[in-house]
Chain A
């Protein structure tokens, strides 16, 4: 009885119908994908997600390193500190960025304050009239631009990226690092030649679990992009709720699924190849 119930529920999860409302098995919708505006959309989605993911990894790695090498009592607290925002609702977190990133928002306020201080300093040293910083502070527009969306995605994805890296660093045998140093390598050399390669599995996992959700982001581009910056998910949503063009929406979301699966398959093949090389692990 139980297995049947499970099968029944699986049919939910993987029920993505093929193409048309009337199921005419046409490939028109897929063809539409290759039109320039859609390709631009996909390209933009890819780049935003990629850029955000890379920044998350670059910032996440040091943070994970700090937590992994902290004292055991501190570790739990630090981990909690970083993970707590993750538990907060995605919508709320994205919404909170509206106040920060607006032209009159907190970030620009802060930059303006810095500008004033620098300007005052320049006046102090007598270079005031040179107008080095411009006549007045020009706030940077984040909302409605790709940079705002990227910042938004970084903001919601960062805790996600930290966890796998932390996990892999925590498990690492410290004696590898010490051996490297003993043999004459400096801190930096040890970091790049030994630490990073050995942490690579964690880094790859972090990449995948950050990149895939980033590709499918809806709320962030919607709220922070103000209609100017669309990612794939926004267009998909419009097909279902607005344009009522369900087949096209399905085609697009299937594209997204394909990309996801390709990435996962690559990862799986990588793991299998590695396992085969290592054979009978000692």
Chain B
């Protein structure tokens, strides 16, 4: 009788994540995705005035000063935030209503409407930009609409709402699908009115979806370039559009600095989003 032997823990046949060939590809892809961003951040500290900020000439933080003192840039940043906040709020409300509408009711031509709502999600951004620009121009809303803040941003806000509420609706709709209709019926059975049911039963279930939709809408608005570019005028500039014009003018570390700030903001948002998601998962057991 042979003595029992031990066997090393080799990766099992379909344990792809342990194979080194695949791990290398994964690593390569990750590096590919992150290196340009890191380089951008590093070069925001580059002491180089000309030459396109490609050659390292020494460390400095003066371009951050420049960026923060750049009035136009700061104004653009303010605009972007304002637009993002307002458009997110409205998008979420519209998205929720739309999602519930589609989930609840049947009406003629429903598939058509469903298609219309998902349109902004599938078509290339430039088509959105073009069509919104044309619409606004027909309404006389293109470019500067007013000199009063925030009304001058209204057209951009409307544009943002238009393309972000379908995304919010999609996220919320997914969340709706996991809703147990019987809970609603139980509440009605116990005497609650329709609105109360909505407020006390449906809305809490939807909360994670609404939060996710809001974050999505916010990010989309914050980052948007093409649509905003088509719809805005010289006085209503958002952060990405301003950076774009700076890039066309000349490439300096100031742009890097501004970009780094935006990256940090995005990171913070993502961090909060995850935190919220984890809390939701721990809290609600649906």
Contacts and interface: CB of A to CB of B under 8 A. Distances in A.
Q: Do chains A and B touch in the complex (CB under 8 A)?
A: yes
Interface stretch (B68-76, B126-134, B195-203): B126-134
B36 A216 contact: no
B59 to A, nearest CB: 16
Nearest to A215: B124
B161 to A, nearest CB: 7
B190 to A, nearest CB: 27
A189 interface: no
Interface size class of B (residues with CB under 8 A): 35 or more
A66 B119 contact: no
A204 interface: no
A188 to B, nearest CB: 12
B5 interface: no
Nearest to A108: B54
A101 to B, nearest CB: 9
A98 B134 contact: no
Given A90-B223, A104-B54, A85 B94 contact: no
Contact of A216 (B35, B127, B230): B127
19 contacts: A5-B94, A13-B119, A16-B127, A16-B134, A59-B25, A60-B29, A62-B26, A65-B16, A82-B29, A85-B34, A90-B223, A92-B263, A93-B36, A96-B36, A96-B37, A155-B33, A218-B125, A218-B126, A257-B124
Interface string A103-121: 0111000000000000000
Interface residues of A, number: 76
Interface of B: 13-17, 22-23, 25-26, 29-30, 32-37, 39-40, 43, 52-55, 94, 97-98, 101, 113, 116-117, 119-120, 122-128, 130-135, 138, 158-159, 161-163, 165, 219, 222-223, 225-226, 229-230, 240, 243-244, 247, 251, 255, 259, 262-263, 266-267, 269-270, 274
Interface of A: 2-3, 5-6, 9-17, 59-60, 62-63, 65-71, 74, 78, 80-82, 84-85, 87-93, 95-100, 102, 104-106, 155, 158-159, 174, 177-178, 181, 187, 212-213, 215-216, 218-219, 223, 232-233, 236-237, 240, 246, 249-250, 253, 256-257, 260, 264
Given A92-B243, A99-B36, A105-B54, A216 B124 contact: yes
A63 B226 contact: no
A67 B36 contact: no
B17 A66 contact: yes
Given A87-B219, A106-B39, A256-B126, A3 B101 contact: yes
Nearest to A80: B274
Contacts of B37: 85, 88, 92-93, 96
Chain A to chain B: the 3 pairs with minimum beta-carbon distance, closest first: A216-B124, A96-B40, A96-B36
A96 B243 CA distance: 12
Nearest to B260: A92
